[in-house]
Structure 1
């Protein structure tokens, strides 16, 4: 029997990485790992996440740059700083809401 998992974070939610110094806004969610084996094996074994958990696509940023990140649920925490995300694609995809998070501009985002 397959155990169904509910994602802890939502589309438009701002999150931060538990270990590394970056944060981002969720724009897509995979119910479990859905990237290449090569990508997964490139992560050092001592910090490699389990595959049987949600993985999140983020418009991410750190102090130096903006990029797309693919992060396991176990490595994310909510970001309650209230600071907006500066990633250039955020404004194309989301509208900032009153709570400090984001909501999709296009209702076809899940």
Structure 2
């Protein structure tokens, strides 16, 4: 795995506090392209469902999405891996590319506020 796939780029904003309000504020400020999906998912999974038991799964998804989107180099790298996998005619290569992207997505889930 390349170094930029595991270390945030200098100048990348830190992760916010781990709650929906702080995460939404960080998205608004640093990754506004995620906001429509975040808000739509919040409405149907939590607000309209009147079910706070869905918040941990919601946070896990959007924590990872934001962690990647806040770092343009990492975002481009993950996107490239996924596009190359989708276009590959070699199943072994496609699997390896998707495994690398998956590893990155799992790794960012472990980020803590302030990292």
Q: TM-score, with normalisation over the residues of structure 1?
A: 0.23
User: Structure 1 or 2: larger helix share?
Assistant: 2
Query: In terms of Rg, which structure is larger?
Result: 2
